[in-house]
Structure 1
Amino acid sequence: MKQVLLDLAITLDGFIEGPNGETDWCIMDDDMDFDGFLSGIDTIFYGRISYDAWGNYLPEENATPEEQKLWEAVHSKNKFVFSSQHREDKNATFINTDIIERVSEIKKQGGKDIWLYGGASLITTFIQNNLIDVYRISVHPIALGSGKPLFEDLKERLNLKLIKTNVFKSGVVQLIYTSDS
């Protein structure tokens, strides 16, 4: 069965974006093997705001071949958008009811894993409903002091089990956990 993977960059002080939505502090090193991560998934879950910003993003013409290849890989995946909006979109399926049931159905379809891309409110919904199987949290060596925290409005403790740690040349430390429930 597919697993839902939260693969996310956070700051040392626990923010997933700055106070104005900025993510310019995120580091992408070649030793992070993001291509390997993308090859292990065939589906991406987006919130509507994240989908509108990134779901059909096209790099500029002068983008590096690596960046163009990365976005081609992202756009080759099945896309599901969780939103209260009803919308027809040729590139994605919109889901606006029965989130837990729909996620369960998608996980049972077989194939590769699912990347829970975000945004913040969708991640919170998935955490609160215990829908994340693997947390891949990449802690970046910067503190912002304010912004959007990863773990917001938790209703109860979230017990996780550390299964792997990766340290990258940039100083980013990736912590991989499974849900301990």
Structure 2
Amino acid sequence: MRRLTVFNFTTVNGFLNDENGNIGWHKQMDPGEDEKEYTSNAARSQHVLVFGRVTYQMMAWYWPSPEAARQNPQMAQSMNESEKIVFSRTLEKADWNNTTLVSGDLIEEIKKLKQQPGNDLTILGSGSLVTQLSDAGLIDQYEIMIDPIAIGSGTPMFNGLKEPLELKLVNSKVFKSGVVVLSYEKNGNG
């Protein structure tokens, strides 16, 4: 059975983006070599990347660009070569390399994908998907990269959860930049 993981970066006060949907606060952070190596290794893990429409459009705009290739060539190559799935009922096509567009029911489609053979699945960004799939109990692991910055408002990572989500810390890592990665699995009670 395939595992479903979330890999997201947030502000220290839990926001995925600011009130305008931007992640400029994350781009201001200057990752050290240890952090770049960690994210590059994570990107090479050959997981199938899962997106909602908004995150997909942002990623599809940035990662194939010359700027991405110049700033982070290994990550750009990995993102562009990875298998990707975008969940959307409004997109008519998904042109980014190796992308499958799925317009069916998110919960049912993820249940099917988890039962199929193949690489594990990783959600990047896509707060709405994270909330829905958390409520459905379908996410196996959460990797939350916390940037040492707080912003006044924005979209929380778990915006609108129906029930408390009990998690168990299974790993943590601190980078020289002050970024912390916390890895959680569902608590047996959650």
Per the normalisation by structure 2, the TM-score is 0.85
8 Å CA contact 1:59, 1:67 repeated in 2: no
Q: 1:15 to 1:69 in 2, by over 3 A?
A: same
Alignment-mate amino acid for residue 7 of structure 1? F
1:86-108, Cα deviation, whole Å (9 max, x unpaired)? 62435422222232222122223
Q: 1:49 to 1:86 in 2, by over 3 A?
A: closer
Equivalent residue in structure 1 for 2:40, among 13, 35, 38: 35
Equivalent residue in structure 1 for 2:126, among 119, 126, 130: 119
8 Å CA contact 1:40, 1:113 repeated in 2: no
* Matched positions, count: 180
Equivalent residue in structure 2 for 1:89, among 94, 99, 102: 94
CA distance in structure 2 between the partners assigned to 1:52 and 1:84 by the alignment: 14
CA distance in structure 1 between the partners assigned to 2:173 and 2:32 by the alignment: 13
**Bigger helix fraction:** 2
CA distance in structure 2 between the partners assigned to 1:86 and 1:98 by the alignment: 15
Equivalent residue in structure 2 for 1:59, among 56, 61, 65: 65
- Cα offset for 1:41? 3.1
Show structure 2 runs of 5+ residues with no match. Answer: none
CA distance in structure 2 between the partners assigned to 1:62 and 1:153 by the alignment: 33
- Cα offset for 1:10? 0.8
- What RMSD in Å do the two structures reach over aligned CA positions? 2.0
Matched, 1:102 2:109: yes
Matched, 1:175 2:165: no
> Could you say what secondary structure the match of 2:72 adopts?
helix
Residue in 1 that maps onto 2:10 = 10
CA distance in structure 1 between the partners assigned to 2:61 and 2:81 by the alignment: 11
Q: 1:125 to 1:148 in 2, by over 3 A?
A: same
In percent, how many aligned pairs have the same letter? 33
CA distance in structure 1 between the partners assigned to 2:33 and 2:184 by the alignment: 22
8 Å CA contact 2:127, 2:158 repeated in 1: no
Show structure 1 runs of 5+ residues with no match. Answer: none
Alignment-mate amino acid for residue 134 of structure 2? I
Residue in 1 that maps onto 2:135 = 128
8 Å CA contact 1:12, 1:140 repeated in 2: yes
CA distance in structure 1 between the partners assigned to 2:43 and 2:73 by the alignment: 14
CA distance in structure 2 between the partners assigned to 1:159 and 1:61 by the alignment: 39
CA distance in structure 2 between the partners assigned to 1:48 and 1:105 by the alignment: 20
CA distance in structure 2 between the partners assigned to 1:74 and 1:170 by the alignment: 23
Q: 1:125 to 1:63 in 2, by over 3 A?
A: same
- Cα offset for 1:63? 4.7
CA distance in structure 1 between the partners assigned to 2:25 and 2:67 by the alignment: 23
CA distance in structure 2 between the partners assigned to 1:83 and 1:13 by the alignment: 28
